[in-house]
C-alpha cells in the first residue's frame, strides 16, 4: 500500500523511468546527493514519523527489522538539532535508555560503526550529517551536539542512574526487555521535568509485561504498530523467506514479526504474575549451598537448529532455588560446551547436568574436550517433558523458586508451556524450559541420589 511506503520506495516502484531519470538528474551533484543521504523525510515511511499533538509517550510496538532504531534515532535528531549545526534545537537534554550499557553503545549510539562506514547502521552517530554529528564520550556516558545539546546514556539494569538527573525528553529502546523495567521507568518519569512538554519515544518488540500494558493504557500514549514485513525493501530476501518459513503463523512469529502483544496461554504451567511476585535481585540472594548448570543440547548450529538450553540455578540455605543465568542460544557443540563451563566456573558451581537420551552422550564427549576436569552428571529422561515439568511448576506455586532478575526469553517459553505444547504451532522447541527443569529437578526434587558421575 502506498501509504506505508517511503518517498524513496514510491519513486522506485511507482514512478515511470522518465520520472526516475529526471529525479536522478536533479540530485546528481555531490551536494544534493549528500543532502539526500540524510534526508529522513525521503527515506522514512509514514508511520516512522512522530505523531502530531501534545502526547507524552510515543510507543512504537513493532517486529524485528521494522526500523525501530532508525525511527528513534531520527526522532532524537529532529528535536536536538536546529536548522544549522549551531542553532538551538527543541530540546537541550535527553535521556537515552537501553536494555544494557552495551546495547546503548552499540545500538542507540552506534559506536564503532561510524568510523568504518558513516552510513552503516541506524545509531545516532550514523544518521547525522557530519556537521551536525554529536561527539560521543563513552567514559561520561554522554553525547554532545555542536549546538551544546546533550544526551545522557542509561540502561535498564541500573535504574538508580536515573535518580536525580532531569531531562526534556527520553528515547527508551527495547523497554519490554529491561531487567528492572518498572524501577527504571519510574525514575525516568521523575526526571522528565524540564521543557514545555516532556516526551518519551519507546521503541520495542512486545512482551506482555505489566509496565508495557500500563503505558498502552495511558491516555497520553500514542501507539504505532508495525510488522517486520513493513520494511521488506531494506531487508534481505533470504531473511524474509527464512523467518516466514520458520515462524509464519506461529505464536513466536506473531510476537516477534507481527508485534502482537500476546497474553499468557490458558493452561500454561507458569504464569507471569507468579514469576514476577517471586523475583529477587542479586543482593537479596542467601548463601547458596549448591549451584548447577543444566544443558539441553542442540546437535548443530544451522539456521533451522533448535537452541541449546543452558540455565544456571542455585540452592539457597533457606531451602529455596534461585535461577541465576540463562545463556541459551543456537551454538555449535564446542561453543555451548565452552559457554556452560565458563558459566560454571564464574558461578563457582558444583557440576553440569545434561540428559543422556537426548544428546547427553554428545555432552559427555564434548565437555572433557574443552576441560577434562569439569564435573558432569548424566540424567535419564524416563518421563515426558510435561511430566518432568509439572513438579517443577509446583515449586513455583509453593513460592520456592526465584528468578534473580528477568529472563525474558526463558519466561516467554515457561508461560507458553502447556500439557499439549505443539512445537510447530509455537514456532520453537522449549529448550530453555528443558534446561530449567533439569536444573531444578537436580537441586530440589531428586538431588544427587541415583546419579551416575561420569567424570570429575
Instruction: Determine contact, residues 159/405, Cβ cutoff 8 Å.
Output: no
pLDDT value at 454 more than 50: no
* Residue 302: per-residue pLDDT: 57
Question: How far apart (Å, rounded) are the C-alpha atoms in residues 217 and 210?
Answer: 11
Q: Are residues 148 and 75 part of one domain?
A: yes
303: in domain: yes
Mean pLDDT of 265-289: 90
Question: How far apart (Å, rounded) are the C-alpha atoms in residues 418 and 448?
Answer: 28
Total domains, the chain: 2
Q: Are residues 289 and 252 part of one domain?
A: no
Q: Are residues 276 and 244 part of one domain?
A: no
Q: Residues with Cβ < 8 Å from 334, sequence gap 6 or more? A: 366, 369, 370
Mean pLDDT of 387-407: 92
105: in domain: yes
pLDDT band at 406 (very low <50, low <70, confident <90, very high): confident
> Residue 195 CA to chain centroid, in angstroms?
31
Q: Residues with Cβ < 8 Å from 400, sequence gap 6 or more? A: 319, 320, 321, 444
14: in domain: no
Alpha helices in 371-446 (DSSP H): 385-397, 408-414, 423-426, 431-440
DSSP state of 145: -
* Residue 371: per-residue pLDDT: 87
Mean pLDDT of the chain: 88
* Residue 120: per-residue pLDDT: 65
Q: Are residues 119 and 243 part of one domain?
A: yes
* Residue 348: per-residue pLDDT: 95
pLDDT value at 357 more than 90: no
Instruction: Determine contact, residues 143/114, Cβ cutoff 8 Å.
Output: no
261: in domain: no
Q: What percentage of the chain reaches a pLDDT higher than 70?
A: 89
- Residue closest to 335 by CA, chosen among 372, 375, 297, 361: 297
The region, left, alpha or beta by phi > 0 then psi within -120 to 50, assigned to residue 140 is alpha
Mean pLDDT of 236-257: 86
* Residue 189: per-residue pLDDT: 96
Q: What is the pLDDT of residues 46-55, one digit of tens each?
A: 999 999 989 9
DSSP state of 5: S
Q: What percentage of the chain reaches a pLDDT higher than 90?
A: 62
pLDDT band at 10 (very low <50, low <70, confident <90, very high): very high
Q: Which range marks the domain in which residue 342 is found? A: 272-455
pLDDT band at 155 (very low <50, low <70, confident <90, very high): very high
Mean pLDDT of 264-270: 83
Q: Are residues 334 and 299 part of one domain?
A: yes
Q: Are residues 118 and 234 part of one domain?
A: yes
Q: Are residues 237 and 283 part of one domain?
A: no
Q: Quick one: which H or E segment has residue 126?
A: helix 124-127
**39 vs 267, which has greater pLDDT?**
39
pLDDT band at 379 (very low <50, low <70, confident <90, very high): confident
User: Exposed e or buried b for every residue in 413-423, given b needs 16+ CB within 10 A?
Assistant: bbbbbeeebee
pLDDT value at 3 more than 70: no
Q: Are residues 360 and 211 part of one domain?
A: no
pLDDT value at 85 more than 90: yes
Mean pLDDT of 186-206: 94
Q: What is the pLDDT of residues 100-147, one digit of tens each?
A: 999 999 999 998 654 445 556 799 999 999 999 999 999 999 999 999
* Residue 408: per-residue pLDDT: 85
Q: What is the pLDDT of residues 25-48, one digit of tens each?
A: 999 898 888 889 899 999 999 999
Where a domain ends, among 197, 226, 256? 256
Q: Are residues 348 and 247 part of one domain?
A: no
* Residue 385: per-residue pLDDT: 77
* Residue 429: per-residue pLDDT: 79
* Residue 365: per-residue pLDDT: 80
* Residue 451: per-residue pLDDT: 43
Q: Are residues 224 and 318 part of one domain?
A: no
* Residue 364: per-residue pLDDT: 77
Q: Are residues 363 and 302 part of one domain?
A: yes
Q: Which CATH number fits the domain that encloses residue 58?
A: 3.40.50.300
Question: How far apart (Å, rounded) are the C-alpha atoms in residues 104 and 100?
Answer: 6
pLDDT value at 252 more than 90: no
Per DSSP, the residues of 24-89 read: HHHT-SHHHHHHHHT-HHHHS-GGGSPPSSS-SEEEEEE-TTS-HHHHHHHHHHHHHB-SSTTSB-
Q: Which CATH number fits the domain that encloses residue 420?
A: 3.30.420.280
* Residue 428: per-residue pLDDT: 65
Where a domain ends, among 256, 287, 306? 256
Question: How far apart (Å, rounded) are the C-alpha atoms in residues 454 and 456?
Answer: 7
Where a domain ends, among 229, 256, 283? 256
* Residue 382: per-residue pLDDT: 56
- Quickly tell me which residue has 506455586 as its cell: 397
1: in domain: no
pLDDT value at 398 more than 60: yes
31: in domain: no
* Residue 117: per-residue pLDDT: 55
262: in domain: no
5: in domain: no
- Model pTM greater than 0.75? no
Q: Residues with Cβ < 8 Å from 300, sequence gap 6 or more? A: 332
Range with top average pLDDT, 209-213, 260-264, 317-321: 317-321
Q: Are residues 285 and 209 part of one domain?
A: no
Amino acid at each position: 500500500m502506498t501509504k506505508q511506503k517511503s518517498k524513496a520506495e514510491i519513486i522506485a516502484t511507482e514512478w515511470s523511468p522518465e520520472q526516475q531519470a529526471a529525479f536522478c538528474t536533479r540530485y546528481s551533484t555531490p551536494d544534493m546527493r549528500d543532502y539526500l543521504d540524510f534526508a529522513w523525510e525521503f527515506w522514512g515511511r509514514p508511520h516512522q514519523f512522530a505523531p502530531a499533538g501534545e502526547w507524552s509517550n510515543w510507543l512504537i510496538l513493532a517486529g524485528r527489522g521494522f526500523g525501530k532504531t532508525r525511527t528513534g534515532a531520527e526522532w532524537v535528531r529532529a528535536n536536538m538539532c536546529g536548522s544549522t549545526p549551531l542553532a538551538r534545537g527543541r530540546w537541550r537534554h535527553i535521556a537515552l535508555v537501553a536494555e544494557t550499557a552495551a546495547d546503548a553503545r552499540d545500538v542507540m549510539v552506534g559506536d564503532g560503526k561510524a568510523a568504518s562506514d558513516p552510513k552503516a547502521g541506524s545509531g545516532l552517530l550514523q544518521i547525522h550529517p557530519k556537521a551536525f554529528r554529536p561527539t560521543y564520550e563513552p567514559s561520561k556516558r554522554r553525547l554532545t551536539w555542536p549546538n551544546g545539546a546533550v544526551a545522557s546514556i542509561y540502561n535498564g539494569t541500573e535504574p538508580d542512574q536515573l535518580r536525580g538527573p532531569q531531562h526534556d525528553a527520553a528515547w527508551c529502546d527495547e523497554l519490554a526487555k529491561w531487567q528492572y523495567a518498572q524501577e527504571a521507568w519510574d525514575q525516568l518519569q521523575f526526571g522528565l521535568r524540564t521543557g514545555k512538554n516532556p516526551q518519551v519515544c519507546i521503541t520495542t518488540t512486545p512482551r506482555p509485561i505489566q509496565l508495557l500494558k500500563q503505558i498502552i493504557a495511558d491516555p497520553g500514549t500514542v501507539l504505532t504498530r508495525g510488522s517486520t514485513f513493513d520494511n521488506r525493501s531494506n531487508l534481505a530476501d533470504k531473511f524474509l523467506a527464512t523467518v516466514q518459513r520458520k515462524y509464519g503463523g506461529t505464536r513466536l512469529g506473531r510476537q516477534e514479526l507481527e508485534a502482537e502483544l500476546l497474553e499468557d496461554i490458558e493452561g500454561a504451567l507458569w504464569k507471569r504474575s507468579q514469576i514476577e511476585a517471586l523475583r529477587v535481585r542479586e543482593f537479596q540472594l542467601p548463601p547458596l549451598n549448591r549451584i548447577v548448570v543444566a544443558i539441553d543440547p542442540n546437535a548443530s548450529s544451522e539456521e533451522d537448529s533448535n537452541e541449546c538450553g543452558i540455565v544456571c540455578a542455585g540452592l539457597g540455605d533457606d531451602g529455596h532455588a534461585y535461577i541465576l543465568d540463562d545463556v541459551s542460544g543456537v551454538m555449535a557443540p564446542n561453543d555451548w560446551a565452552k559457554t556452560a563451563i565458563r558459566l560454571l566456573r564464574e558461578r563457582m558451581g558444583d557440576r553440569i547436568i545434561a540428559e543422556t537420551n537426548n544428546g547427553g552422550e554428545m555432552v559427555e564427549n564434548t565437555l572433557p574436550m574443552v576441560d577434562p576436569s569439569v564435573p558432569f552428571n548424566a540424567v535419564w529422561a524416563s518421563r515426558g517433558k510435561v511430566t518432568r515439568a509439572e513438579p517443577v511448576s509446583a515449586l513455583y506455586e509453593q513460592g520456592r523458586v526465584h528468578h534473580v532478575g528477568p529472563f525474558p526469553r526463558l519466561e516467554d517459553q515457561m508461560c507458553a508451556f502447556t500439557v499439549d505444547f505443539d512445537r510447530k504451532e509455537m514456532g520453537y522447541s522449549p529448550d530453555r524450559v528443558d534446561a530449567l527443569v533439569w536444573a531444578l529437578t537436580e537441586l530440589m526434587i531428586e538431588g544427587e541420589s541415583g546419579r551416575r558421575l561420569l567424570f570429575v
